[in-house]
Amino acid sequence: MNTTIGNRIRSLREFRDLTQEQLATRAEVSVDTIRKLEQNLRQSARISTLRALARALDVQLERLVGQSTVTQQLRDDGGLIALRDAIQDIGALPGVPAADDLEDPPSEQDWVASVKAATSQYWRGEYSELSSTLPLLLRDGRAATREAPTERVWQQLALAYQLAACLATQAGHPDWAYTAVEKQLAAAARASDPLMEGMGVSTLSWVLLRQGRWEQAQAIAVRKAEELEPSFLRGTPAQFAVYGNLLVAAATPAARRDDHDRAIELLSGAEAAAVRSGPVRAYGTAFSVVDVRTQKVNIALAGEAARPEQALEFAKDVRLDQISRPVHSAAYRVDVAQAQYQAGDSEAALATLLEVEEDQPEWIRLQALASATVREMLEAERRRNTALRSLAARLGVDPAL
C-alpha cells in the first residue's frame, strides 16, 4: 500500500504530539493546507510548503515526500551502505586499533586517474556504478596517503571525499555527507590548498541547504568567498571559479529565505567572475557563465513567492548545449519544468520531465523537486493522462488519485 505525503505528515505530527493548529503555527503554513493534505484531499503542496512542514516536524524533506534513497542497481562489490562504511571509517578514529590487513596503495598516477574517472561518473549521473567503486576509491586514497603523503595525493583524497559527500546528498543521506565534507576539508588542509578548502565549504553549504540550515549555508559560503576573493587583474581562472562557486552556493539559501535581491546580487557577482575566468574545469566541478545563469532559474522558484514567469525569462538566456555536465543539465531542466507548470503550461512541463527522464533515468528518481512537480500535476489533472501517470509510477509517486 502506498503511503501519501498526508499520511506521513499525520503520522509524524501525532508522533510529535502536535495538533494541526500547532504544526501550522510552527511551519507558518495554513492549517487548511495541513487538513487537506492529511485527509488526502490534496496529494501535494508547493515544495517550499513541504520544506517548511519538514522543518517543523524535525525531519528531512526526503523522508516527508518519500524520496527514494537507494540506487537503481544492486552491486556485489559496493553500494550506498558500503559508501557509508567507507565515509565513517572506524579505523580512522583515535584510540581504535588499526586493522592488520591494510590495502596496498595504488601508484600516485593510478590514484589520480581513478579520481578523475569517478568524477566523470558522478557528473554523468551513473550513481549505481559510482556507489560500487567509490568505497574502494576512498580506501585506496587513505592507503595512498599513508604510503606517499604528498600534497597532490591529499588533494585527490579531498576530491574523493567531495564526490562521496555529493553522492550521499543526492541519495538523501546528508548526515553521511556532512562527515564526508569534514574529511574533505581535513584532506584539503593537509594538501595546503586553500582553493580545495573553498570547494569543501561550497559542498558543505549545499549539504546544509539540504538539511534545511539555510542561514548557515549562506553565511559560510559568503565568508569563504570574501576570504578567497581574487584580484581582478591577477586572479587565476581556478581562483575565479572557486570564488564564483561559493557565491552560487550562497545565492540558493538566500532565495530560500525569500531574500531574492541578495540572491540576484550574489549571482551577479558569480557571473562577473565567470566572465573573467572563462569556462573552467577544476576541483571536481565546472564553472562558466551558463552555469551561473541556470541558477537564476532556480532561485526565481525558491522561497514563498515563486516567480515562474521570471524563471522562464531567465531560461531564455541559457543555451542548453553549453551546459557541460549532464547532471547539471538535468537539474536545470527540472527547474524549467517546475516553472512551466507553475506558469500554467502543464503539457510543456510534462514534455520537459520526460526528456530529463530519458537522459537521466536513475538521477531523476532521487530528485524531490521532480517528484513534487509530478504530484502537483496529478492533483490538477482534469482528464486521465497516461504519460503523466506512467512517469509518476516510475518515480514512485502514487498515481491512484
Mean pLDDT of 109-116: 89
Question: In which band, very low, low, confident or very high, does the pLDDT at 1 lie, cut at 50, 70 and 90?
Answer: very low
Look at residue 372 and tell me whether its pLDDT is greater than 90: no
Cβ neighbors of 13 (< 8 A, separation 6 or more) are 19, 20, 23, 34, 38, 57
Which three cell numbers, joined as nine digits, stand for 221? 559560503
Mean pLDDT of 190-219: 94
The answer to which of 12-16, 83-87, 140-144, 204-208 has the lowest mean pLDDT is 12-16
Which pLDDT score is estimated for 381?
78
Mean pLDDT of 56-81: 63
Distance of alpha carbon 180 from alpha carbon 226, whole angstroms: 24
How many Cα atoms within 13 Å fall on the side-chain side of residue 250?
27
Instruction: State the average pLDDT for the chain.
Output: 87
Mean pLDDT of 14-37: 88
pLDDT, tens digit, for every residue of 117-131? Answer: 999 999 998 888 888
Look at residue 5 and tell me whether its pLDDT is greater than 90: no
Which pLDDT score is estimated for 103?
59
Which pLDDT score is estimated for 60?
67
Based on its alpha-carbon atoms, the radius of gyration of the chain, rounded to whole angstroms, reads: 21
Which pLDDT score is estimated for 108?
84
Look at residue 102 and tell me whether its pLDDT is greater than 80: no
Which pLDDT score is estimated for 184?
96
Whole-prediction pTM: 0.79
Distance of alpha carbon 334 from alpha carbon 395, whole angstroms: 13
The answer to which of 62-66, 227-231, 298-302 has the lowest mean pLDDT is 62-66
The answer to which of 184-198, 202-216, 359-373 has the lowest mean pLDDT is 359-373
Which pLDDT score is estimated for 172?
82
Look at residue 219 and tell me whether its pLDDT is greater than 80: yes
Look at residue 401 and tell me whether its pLDDT is greater than 50: no
pLDDT, tens digit, for every residue of 258-280? Answer: 899 999 999 999 999 999 999 99
Comparison of pLDDT for 100 and 366, the residue scoring more: 366
Percent of the chain with pLDDT over 70: 91
